[in-house]
Structure 1
Amino acid sequence: MDLERDAFTVRYDPELISPERMMAAVSSLGFRPHVAAEAGRGISAAETPETDTADATRRAGARRHPEPVATALRQARTDNLMVLVDFLAAWCGPCIALEQDVLPDPRVQEILKGYQLVRVNVDDLPEVTKHYGVVAMPTLIVLDAQGRERQRLVGTMTVERLVRDLAQVRQQRADGP
């Protein structure tokens, strides 16, 4: 696939993420998004079987979360926290930088007190990766205690970006649904 020339379609659940946030996510990966005719149904413009499976699961109402995320969600409900799922790979340079340079930072550690952190190695747990439609690393997904996705961060992460984005999600949580 030549991403400079070829088009691809992203299917998503508009109840979980707004079209604006989906467009921003696609843009942040360096692509030029546009809204297809079916955008009202959660299509933002080559479909992959992984995405189709995840969408079918959501449409069927089967919002079961796989382990280890399910355990983290149970703990998050008990402790009144949100869940931060970190999808990583040992061979991923930006993942290594996130682990060594960003996560240990005291500002990040402070904000992570409001989150139950789950680290998912995409090579060890491909079914979990597929379930959440993760296609690039690192990907950080914020889930509320009910398991609804509130934020998805993809790509190279700085301390400032992570703190800002997690603080924003926390503030939205404080402001209400």
Structure 2
Amino acid sequence: MSGRKITCLDCGQVNRMAQDKPASTAKCGTCGAKLMDGKVHEVDLATLQKAARNDDVPLVVDFWAPWCGPCKMMAPEFSKAAASHAGRVRFVKLNTEAEPAAGQRYNIRGIPTMAAFRGGSEKARQSGAMPAAQISAWVTQSI
């Protein structure tokens, strides 16, 4: 079976997304969730690790915490950037307060911090809040 591997952000199942079909129509074979909906999804550490390791589609992660003012300011900008990359890149958020092991695992020293993953490894990292246009430019350059 050919296609791009992509992890469902709802149930964690690895799926194959057909190359010849629009990414916007791809759904998880297990739970039926859309795989490339252009929205930001909150994930836990296990789902992040699985997606970063297995997915053929680029993944951008925002490491954040609810008490962080710049994180709150950047959240709507991150969502705008996600919408502008719909069908090409997936955007997720990981709460480092709820998942302290993630901060250690990915060596997060300050938040917000974004990391871009592709092909099983981290390709780029950027700390600090940014507007949507700057996030989009960074994503395009990084992946």
Q: TM-score range by the shorter chain?
A: 0.5 to 0.7
Q: Deviations over 1:109-147 (max 9, x none)?
A: 12253223332111111111111100111001001131x
Aligned to 2:73: 97
* Matched AA of 1:97: M
Aligned to 2:101: 127
Q: Could you tell me which runs of 5 or more consecutive residues in structure 2 were left unpaired when the two chains were aligned.
A: 1-44
Runs of at least 4 residues off by over 3 Å: none
Cα RMSD for the two superposed structures? 1.9
Q: Of residues 119, 134, 137 in structure 2, which corresponds to 1:161?
A: 134
The CA distance in 2 between the partners of 1:153 and 1:73, in whole Å, is 17
| Secondary structure at 1:113 match in 2 | coil
More strand by share: 2
The CA distance in 2 between the partners of 1:87 and 1:95, in whole Å, is 9
| Secondary structure at 1:141 match in 2 | strand
| Secondary structure at 2:124 match in 1 | strand
CA drift of 1:108 comes to: 4.3
Aligned to 1:16: none
CA drift of 1:157 comes to: 1.0
1:36-55 to structure 2, matched below 5 A, reads: none
CA drift of 1:76 comes to: 2.2
TM-score w.r.t. length of structure 2: 0.61
Aligned to 2:59: 83
**Using a 3 Å threshold, how does the CA distance of structure 1 residues 108 and 120 change in structure 2: closer, same or farther?**
closer
Aligned to 2:6: none
How many positions carry a matched residue from both structures?
A: 99
1:1-177 to structure 2, matched below 5 A, reads: 67-73=46-52, 76-77=55-56, 81-100=57-76, 102-105=77-80, 108-146=82-120, 148-170=121-143
**Using a 3 Å threshold, how does the CA distance of structure 1 residues 69 and 104 change in structure 2: closer, same or farther?**
closer
The CA distance in 2 between the partners of 1:161 and 1:135, in whole Å, is 21
Aligned to 1:43: none
TM-score w.r.t. length of structure 1: 0.50
Taking every aligned residue pair, what percent have the same amino acid on both sides? 22
The CA distance in 1 between the partners of 2:86 and 2:113, in whole Å, is 16
